[in-house]
Amino acid sequence: MSTLFSPISLGGLSLPNRIVIAPMCQYSAQDGCATDWHEIHLGHLALSGAGLLILEATAVEPEGRISPADLGLWSDDTEAALARVLQAVRRYSPMPIAVQLAHAGRKASTRVPWEGGQSILPEDGGWITSAPSALKYADHDATPIALDEAGLRRVRDRFVDAARRADRLGIDAIEVHAAHGYLLHQFLSPLSNQRTDACGGSLENRMRFPLEVYDAVRAAFPADKPVGVRVSATDWVAGGWDLEQTVAFAQALRGRGCAFIDVSTGGLSPLQKIELGPGYQVPFAERIRRESGLPTMAVGLITEPAQAEEIVGSGKADMVALARGILYNPRWPWHAAAELGAHVDGPPQYFRAPPHGIKRLFRGA
What one-character-per-residue DSSP string does 310-364 give?
HHHHTTS-SEEEESHHHHH-TTHHHHHHHHHT--B---GGGTT-SPTT--S-BTT
Determine the Cα–Cα distance for residues 37 and 160; give it in Å rounded to an integer.
27
Domain at 250, CATH number: 3.20.20.70
Of 257, 250, 255, 251, whose CA–CA distance to 221 is shortest?
Answer: 257
Please determine, for residue 357, whether its predicted confidence score (pLDDT) is greater than 90: no
Is residue 53, in this structure, part of any structural domain at all?
Answer: yes
Is residue 2, in this structure, part of any structural domain at all?
Answer: no
Is residue 68, in this structure, part of any structural domain at all?
Answer: yes
pLDDT of residue 315: 97
Share of the chain above pLDDT 70, in %: 100
pLDDT of residue 356: 85
pLDDT of residue 275: 87
Is residue 351, in this structure, part of any structural domain at all?
Answer: no
- How many domains does the structure of the chain reveal? 1
How many Cα atoms within 13 Å fall on the side-chain side of residue 168? 17
Is residue 356, in this structure, part of any structural domain at all?
Answer: no
Determine the Cα–Cα distance for residues 272 and 175; give it in Å rounded to an integer.
25
User: Pick the catalytic residue: 27, 92, 137, 182?
Assistant: 182
For 106-145, give one letter per residue: b (16+ CB within 10 A) or e.
bbbbbbbeeeeeebbeeeeebeebbbbbebebeeebbebe
Please determine, for residue 204, whether its predicted confidence score (pLDDT) is greater than 90: yes
Is residue 218, in this structure, part of any structural domain at all?
Answer: yes
Please determine, for residue 364, whether its predicted confidence score (pLDDT) is greater than 90: no
pLDDT of residue 217: 98
**Phi and psi angles of residue 285, each rounded to the nearest 5 degrees, phi first:** -60, -40
Mean per-residue pLDDT, 294-318 = 97
**For residue 7, which amino acid is it?**
P
Radius of gyration (C-alpha) of the chain in whole angstroms? 20
pLDDT of residue 303: 95
Is residue 95, in this structure, part of any structural domain at all?
Answer: yes
- Strands 13-15 vs 8-10: parallel, antiparallel or unpaired: antiparallel
pLDDT of residue 260: 98
Mean pLDDT of the chain: 97
**For residue 197, which amino acid is it?**
D
Mean per-residue pLDDT, 12-32 = 98
Parent domain of 199? 8-326
pLDDT of residue 286: 98
Please determine, for residue 360, whether its predicted confidence score (pLDDT) is greater than 90: no
pLDDT of residue 358: 86
Q: Within a 10 A sphere around the Cβ of 74, how many other Cβ atoms?
A: 20
Inter-CA distances, 170 with 39, 97, 163, 304, Å: 16, 9, 11, 32
Q: What is the pLDDT of residues 26-39, one digit of tens each?
A: 999 999 999 999 99
pLDDT of residue 206: 98
Q: How does residue 94 score in pLDDT terms, banded at 50, 70 and 90?
A: very high
pLDDT of residue 106: 98
Q: Check residue 56 and give left, alpha or beta (phi > 0: left; psi -120 to 50: alpha).
A: beta
Determine the Cα–Cα distance for residues 170 and 15; give it in Å rounded to an integer.
16
Determine the Cα–Cα distance for residues 144 and 163; give it in Å rounded to an integer.
26
Share of the chain above pLDDT 90, in %: 97
Mean per-residue pLDDT, 134-143 = 95
Of 7, 22, 105, 117, whose CA–CA distance to 59 is shortest?
Answer: 105
Q: What is the pLDDT of residues 321-346, one digit of tens each?
A: 999 999 999 999 999 999 999 999 99
Inter-CA distances, 110 with 57, 173, 191, Å: 15, 28, 21
Is residue 87, in this structure, part of any structural domain at all?
Answer: yes
Please determine, for residue 131, whether its predicted confidence score (pLDDT) is greater than 90: yes
Q: Is 182 a catalytic residue?
A: yes
pLDDT of residue 70: 98
Please determine, for residue 176, whether its predicted confidence score (pLDDT) is greater than 90: yes
Mean per-residue pLDDT, 183-188 = 98
